[in-house]
Amino acid sequence: MSLKRHTSPVEANFRPHGYALLESHHEEDFRMDWRRDPFPKILLFIGGEGVMETSSHGFAIRAPMVCVVPKGRKHRIIDTPAKPLSLYGICIQSPQFPSGSLLRSVCREFRVVNESRRIQRIESWLRELLAEERLQQKDFEDAQVCLITSIILELSRTPRNDAVQISDSTHRVKSYADALAKEFWKNEDIDSVAQTLGLSRRRFTQLFREIVGESWQKRVTRLRMTYAADLLQRTSLSIRSIAFECGYRDLSHFYRVFKQMHGMSPGQYRAG
User: 142 to each of 132, 149, 154, how far by Cα in Å?
Assistant: 10, 11, 19
Domain ranges of the chain: 19-163, 167-272
What average pLDDT does the segment 165-175 reach?
69
DSSP 28: T
Pairing between strand 19-25 and 86-92? antiparallel
What average pLDDT does the segment 132-142 reach?
92
CATH no. of 19-163: 2.60.120.280
CA distance 73 to 54: 8
**Is the pLDDT at 167 greater than 70, yes or no?**
no
pLDDT tens digits, residue range 226-260?
999 999 999 999 999 999 999 998 999 999 999 99
Q: pTM for this one? A: 0.69
Domains 19-163 and 167-272 share a fold: no
What average pLDDT does the segment 122-133 reach?
94
Contact between 77 and 54 under an 8 Å Cβ cutoff? The reply is: no
**Is the pLDDT at 224 greater than 80, yes or no?**
yes
The CATH fold of domain 167-272 = Arc Repressor Mutant, subunit A (1.10.10)
Which is nearest to 139 in space by CA: 222, 16, 269?
16
CA distance 202 to 169: 13
Contact between 25 and 86 under an 8 Å Cβ cutoff? The reply is: yes
**Is the pLDDT at 1 greater than 50, yes or no?**
no
pLDDT tens digits, residue range 24-42?
999 989 999 999 999 999 9
Which is nearest to 21 in space by CA: 139, 163, 155, 151?
151
**Is the pLDDT at 163 greater than 50, yes or no?**
no
